[in-house]
Amino acid sequence: MDVEDYMLLFLALWILLSAILVGSVDVFLTLTLIGILITLEVGSLFLDREQKEGMKPLVELLILLFTIIVLKKVYEVLSGGAS
Amino acid sequence: MEAKYISSALLALSGGILAAWGFIHGEAAYINLGLAALFLAAIVPVFKSPSYVKRDSLNIMVKSQRNLATSLLDGLALEGKSVYLPPYENLPEGGVFIPLREDFDLDPARFDEGSIFVTDVPDERKMGLLLPTLGKELVEKYEEHLEGPLTSIPEVESAAGSVLKSLNLARRVYIEDGEGEVMAIVTPDFECSPVNCERFPCPVCASILRGIAKASGEVIVVESISRGKAGVEIKARKMGRVEEWM
């Protein structure tokens, strides 16, 4: 197996375990983002530019979703504190 | 159609169905599984390399290219060790020059991208073979990795190490920059026994030397390329800037 295969295997296991073990969609999305960022950081030596560029849209989408999740939580805290 | 695209399409389809079913029935577990499959559908084609060449095939190809180069150099009676030119006006991407004689002299003003045989010179010591493209693609890859031009030798070491590792061509690249000389150690990931590499190196060593010439802005002359304990040891001398040879 190639290093890329190990990275893909790790990421697949991370995402699947997160999906199965976590009950909330918000936490699952956050864990997926963390898993992808860890893989890209640790494995950056073995990935060429095209592969890194290919992952960018997914990372950007997950960062956007993460921002929405954080804003939602902030709003919940603030609105809970006001009442 | 490649297997990775088929598996990606199947993952996307099953993920879409699972996510939709979970969303309709308000089941977070199914939504998560559906999204997981959709994410993996996006990741699989990106991570999986398009195709591979067998290592044995690469060794055979490299060997046959080396034999061709050796017979070409012997046929042309080129005795000098290869000289690496940094980019300058005539050669915007730099180049590799194999002089006719060991006690060579350079006339960079007569070089250009279209000329291969440098014979139109008054002195035999300035004659030789010009190879503007040897190792060029790998240097481009190094610069792609850096997202900018090579400007220092540590940058060459870092970029060459990363790119050659990702291409499974070398496990390690180490460059020691000294006063007037430079030494590089490459641990190749393929069968490599340096023969005649001082005159005509493989694209891996050529790209590293070319990168050093580009980063330092100096003409680099190979002294020796031999097999050491840690890998292939490349010893080279810095011969000053191109302008000094004009």
C-alpha pair distances (Å), B179 with each of B24, B182, B216, B239: 71, 8, 12, 11
Range of the domain at A67: 3-82
- Does A12 contact B40 at a Cβ distance shorter than 8 Å? yes
Predicted local confidence at residue B169, as pLDDT: 86
Could you read off the pLDDT of B6-42 as tens digits, one per residue? 888 999 999 999 999 999 998 889 999 999 999 999 9
Predicted local confidence at residue B50, as pLDDT: 64
Residue, of B192 and B206, whose pLDDT is higher: B206
Could you read off the pLDDT of B43-76 as tens digits, one per residue? 998 887 666 777 778 778 878 888 888 888 888 8
Q: Does B165 touch chain A (CB under 8 A)?
A: yes
Under the banding of pLDDT at 50, 70 and 90, the label for residue A16 is: very high
Please, what is the average pLDDT of chain B? 87
Distance from CA of B221 to the nearest CA of A (A): 30
Residues 6+ apart with CB under 8 A from B53: none
Domain count, chain A: 1
Residue B78 CA to residue B57 CA, distance in Å, equals: 29
Residues 6+ apart with CB under 8 A from A72: A26
Q: What are B52's two structure tokens?
A: 């591979």
Residue, of B123 and B50, whose pLDDT is higher: B123
C-alpha pair distances (Å), B84 with each of A64, B142, B201: 48, 17, 11
Within 13 Å, how many C-alpha atoms sit on residue A76's CB side?
6
Name the DSSP letter for residue B98: E
Under the banding of pLDDT at 50, 70 and 90, the label for residue A82 is: low
Determine how many CB atoms are found less than 10 A away from the CB of residue B147.
8
Distance from CA of A83 to the nearest CA of B (A): 28
- Does B32 contact A12 at a Cβ distance shorter than 8 Å? no
**Residue ranges per domain, chain B?**
3-47, 74-246
ipTM entry: 0.90
Could you read off the pLDDT of B143-164 as tens digits, one per residue? 988 888 999 999 999 999 988 8
- Does A8 contact B44 at a Cβ distance shorter than 8 Å? yes
Residue, of B243 and A83, whose pLDDT is higher: B243
